A and B are shown apart, each in its own frame.
Chain A
């Protein structure tokens, strides 16, 4: 399916659409840019329709439990006051002309953005387009393979709600193997926004023409850092996060680092943490399938360590496990409520995280209040881009950066104008 200028078309129209796209873009760029309030108002109208239950049928059709949870978490971010806040924070006031010694400077849209989206969260492709629209760009969206159709349906709603937006986005379900069509889209772009793993990012990077800005939202790793002796409550919050996120998100805790060099102390921590994790698992695992998945992954991990002759110790619990590892490397956990514990004294933190510095995202910090400032600064120097409390590692925050960047700022271009004296 294709969405072009507000109309849903069959894939057979792809060649025609691609043929006309260049001229359409040039015509649109010649006009004054899209004002942010048009986008913000349209989102607000859609949100109130959502609140009134008018979109229930659509949600029922596409939404998985995972999507509904995400929708609950993120819907607040689409409120007008929050979108305006995001715009202000992220563009740093560049949208209106500021005076400079030579005259003035103001940001304009980058031009045309090609969004290559990944399927890690349903509806995320539509959100990426909204970010492009807020900054006045023309958006070409390639849906991920196996997309549920939710993003196209949402963007079609947006186009119907506000016809002035319709010319500013195109949605294509081109397979990644159709290199020729992808290249045709890349050739028209001023910026390529790529979401996904290393493979997707490498593939798209090779397609970006010289002079085209390449922006990547790659996969990330996150961890918890625990100094001193945390309260049970904090550990319960961390356990809840580990089980609920299942290690699958960029912000999910993969490793719990302890600020100690003593393996005995770490073992004692594991013994203390396991029953807390088990309680969280028994609450969160509502079907035998979820518990089975967690148990299988934990058992599989135990077998992997056995054949690798590792000295790591696996503490297997009900529907979860805690593995005490002898090394310090940040790595992926066995997922689904099976977490790794490692010793990492704060003096060695920067060195241990150095190999993964470009992939770090969230650190859930558990420490005495008086040390929080110092440890947060140390984690920042090591390369993390978010420091949160234990239970909020995967919570979205209003005004937060995305992997250390402000996306809207990246989708703009600053134009300096010299004053005529």
Chain B
């Protein structure tokens, strides 16, 4: 049962070739664990004729039962009782429904070396204390979302002196305070310590626009960074091109492009994907990605566009070994990036289907997880 720890404690975070055997062993153990402990997973594996023993070569990973994120929203799937879990988090539920995912202690133990190794590889770790401005949710006991946890976690890459939040919990809901953040950033530009801005890209964009409107400009101290996580969520339609965002960050905050770090991950797949200096998400050794045909779900060769299927043996508490996102994307050979990392990188093209689907068929709004707005 130590296959997972052997994989996550490996030395080179992007050595996919050198860790194939470790990865397969960890995935075999992980699938066997879920088949033993999660009745729903067992039923699906049975219906698909899957057994862990079939995983002999990297191309066999496509045989692992794939669960769509929608399935986690409809079913709370667990392979162990709640009392044995270290943590229990939910997705942010942008569209009304959310996934419930359990974290076991072994998962936390495996995440630590992953985060430290990748943090060091991408220059996130610094002994110099920093002020933190979080363009996201202030943690609250009523908020169990994974992204809140991630953003809070990101503030620990250097000793945090202070934390300023853009979203405060007031009377049962979150209210934004962008003006407060803008004032804080202006104040922090005269501090001897650097500032680390952690947040949703959409909030950074709105915040920067607001600062520009107000004529505010901050020149944050050297070593200041922007760390972006969580996607554009409900602001999808207002998504801007990355270079536009970077230029504005440079202009308004004085933070150069190479100090802007981006992350990718999902509650169902909490792998710490870091963008390289060319802003590409290379696959680290803790995960594998399969792109699947939009009509047949069969695996596609490198470069073809399809549904993004994320695979990792990280979690024992919830069967998330192979997760199908509702994103379309494609893979590119790592060598084409030129940053030096050789593992393939993932490009996400966007959500599947129309985000503004409306329906008047009885019950369809609930099925689509939209609630019944009126």
Interface residues of A (CB under 8 A from B): 64, 66, 116-122, 144-146, 176, 196-200, 203, 218-222, 247-250, 252, 254, 288-293, 295-296, 299-300, 303-304, 306-307, 309, 318-319, 331-332, 335-336, 359
Residues in A whose Cβ lies below 8 Å from that of B328: 288-289, 292
> B297 in the interface, Cβ–Cβ < 8 Å?
yes
Contact of B360 among A121, A122, A299, A300 (CB under 8 A): A121
Query: In the complex, are the beta carbons of B295 and A318 less than 8 A apart?
Result: yes
Contact of A307 among B43, B70, B305, B307 (CB under 8 A): B43
Query: In the complex, are the beta carbons of B362 and A218 less than 8 A apart?
Result: yes
| Known contacts A288-B305, A296-B307; A120/B359 CB under 8 A | yes
Given A222-B361, A293-B353; 10 other pairs, CB 8 A cutoff: A121-B360, A196-B372, A198-B372, A200-B374, A219-B360, A219-B365, A248-B361, A295-B297, A303-B44, A304-B74
> In the bound complex, what is the Cα–Cα distance between A331 and B353 (angstroms)?
23
Query: In the complex, are the beta carbons of B306 and A292 less than 8 A apart?
Result: yes
> B356 in the interface, Cβ–Cβ < 8 Å?
yes
> B244 in the interface, Cβ–Cβ < 8 Å?
no
List the A residue with the shortest CB-CB distance to B365: A197
Contact of A292 among B47, B352, B361, B368 (CB under 8 A): B352
Query: In the complex, are the beta carbons of B374 and A306 less than 8 A apart?
Result: no
Contact of B353 among A122, A289, A303 (CB under 8 A): A289
> In the bound complex, what is the Cα–Cα distance between A64 and B296 (angstroms)?
28
List the A residue with the shortest CB-CB distance to B304: A288
> B358 in the interface, Cβ–Cβ < 8 Å?
yes
Contact of A295 among B43, B294, B360, B362 (CB under 8 A): B294
Residues in A whose Cβ lies below 8 Å from that of B67: 303
| Known contacts A203-B374, A293-B353; A319/B295 CB under 8 A | yes
> B109 in the interface, Cβ–Cβ < 8 Å?
no
Residues in A whose Cβ lies below 8 Å from that of B357: 248
> B364 in the interface, Cβ–Cβ < 8 Å?
yes
Residues in B whose Cβ lies below 8 Å from that of A66: 354, 358
Closest 10 CB pairs of A and B: A200-B374, A293-B353, A292-B294, A219-B362, A120-B360, A318-B295, A197-B372, A248-B359, A291-B294, A199-B372
Contact of A120 among B44, B326, B358 (CB under 8 A): B358
Contact count band on B: 35 or more
Shortest Cβ distance from residue A73 to the other chain B in the assembled complex, whole angstroms: 15
> B338 in the interface, Cβ–Cβ < 8 Å?
no
Shortest Cβ distance from residue A385 to the other chain B in the assembled complex, whole angstroms: 14
Contact of B372 among A64, A200, A249, A292 (CB under 8 A): A200
Can you give 21 A-B contacts (C-beta < 8 A)?
A: A64-B354, A66-B354, A121-B360, A122-B358, A176-B374, A199-B372, A200-B372, A200-B374, A219-B360, A219-B362, A248-B357, A248-B359, A254-B361, A292-B307, A295-B295, A295-B297, A295-B307, A299-B297, A304-B71, A306-B47, A336-B353
List the A residue with the shortest CB-CB distance to B356: A64
**Chain A CB within 10 A, most for which of B67, B75, B356:** B356
List the B residue with the shortest CB-CB distance to A360: B362
> B81 in the interface, Cβ–Cβ < 8 Å?
no
Query: In the complex, are the beta carbons of B358 and A119 less than 8 A apart?
Result: yes
Contact of B373 among A146, A222, A248, A288 (CB under 8 A): A146
Residues in A whose Cβ lies below 8 Å from that of B74: 304
Shortest Cβ distance from residue A216 to the other chain B in the assembled complex, whole angstroms: 12
Query: In the complex, are the beta carbons of A290 and B353 less than 8 A apart?
Result: yes
Interface residues of B (CB under 8 A from A): 40, 43-44, 47, 67-68, 70-71, 74-75, 294-297, 305-307, 324, 326, 328, 350-354, 356-365, 367-368, 372-374
Q: How many A-B residue pairs have CB under 8 A?
A: 138
Shortest Cβ distance from residue A287 to the other chain B in the assembled complex, whole angstroms: 9
List the B residue with the shortest CB-CB distance to A358: B362
List the A residue with the shortest CB-CB distance to B307: A292
Residues in A whose Cβ lies below 8 Å from that of B374: 116-119, 144-145, 176, 196-197, 199-200, 203
Residues in A whose Cβ lies below 8 Å from that of B362: 197, 218-221, 250, 332, 359
Contact of B40 among A64, A295, A307, A331 (CB under 8 A): A307
Query: In the complex, are the beta carbons of B294 and A248 less than 8 A apart?
Result: no
Query: In the complex, are the beta carbons of B352 and A289 less than 8 A apart?
Result: yes
Residues in B whose Cβ lies below 8 Å from that of A119: 358, 373-374
Residues in B whose Cβ lies below 8 Å from that of A289: 294, 328, 350-353
List the B residue with the shortest CB-CB distance to A199: B372
Query: In the complex, are the beta carbons of B364 and A332 less than 8 A apart?
Result: yes
> In the bound complex, what is the Cα–Cα distance between A220 and B74 (angstroms)?
23
Query: In the complex, are the beta carbons of A306 and B326 less than 8 A apart?
Result: no
| Known contacts A118-B374, A197-B365; A249/B360 CB under 8 A | yes
> In the bound complex, what is the Cα–Cα distance between A291 and B363 (angstroms)?
23
| Known contacts A116-B374, A144-B374; A291/B360 CB under 8 A | no
List the B residue with the shortest CB-CB distance to A282: B295
| Known contacts A146-B373, A199-B372, A221-B362; A296/B68 CB under 8 A | yes
Query: In the complex, are the beta carbons of B361 and A249 less than 8 A apart?
Result: yes
Residues in B whose Cβ lies below 8 Å from that of A300: 68, 70-71
Residues in A whose Cβ lies below 8 Å from that of B297: 295, 299
**Chain A CB within 10 A, most for which of B44, B353, B354, B359:** B359
> In the bound complex, what is the Cα–Cα distance between A289 and B307 (angstroms)?
9
Contact of A291 among B68, B295, B324, B351 (CB under 8 A): B295
> In the bound complex, what is the Cα–Cα distance between A300 and B351 (angstroms)?
17
Shortest Cβ distance from residue A67 to the other chain B in the assembled complex, whole angstroms: 10
> In the bound complex, what is the Cα–Cα distance between A300 and B353 (angstroms)?
15
> In the bound complex, what is the Cα–Cα distance between A268 and B47 (angstroms)?
23
Contact of B361 among A144, A219, A290, A303 (CB under 8 A): A219
Shortest Cβ distance from residue B58 to the other chain A in the assembled complex, whole angstroms: 23
> In the bound complex, what is the Cα–Cα distance between A139 and B359 (angstroms)?
25
> In the bound complex, what is the Cα–Cα distance between A263 and B74 (angstroms)?
30
Query: In the complex, are the beta carbons of A247 and B361 less than 8 A apart?
Result: yes
List the A residue with the shortest CB-CB distance to B374: A200
> In the bound complex, what is the Cα–Cα distance between A225 and B300 (angstroms)?
39
Residues in A whose Cβ lies below 8 Å from that of B361: 219-222, 247-250, 252, 254, 332, 335
**Chain B CB within 10 A, most for which of A252, A290, A307:** A307
Shortest Cβ distance from residue B347 to the other chain A in the assembled complex, whole angstroms: 14
**Chain A CB within 10 A, most for which of B71, B74, B294:** B294
Residues in B whose Cβ lies below 8 Å from that of A122: 358
Shortest Cβ distance from residue A345 to the other chain B in the assembled complex, whole angstroms: 25
| Known contacts A290-B353, A296-B68, A318-B295; A309/B306 CB under 8 A | no
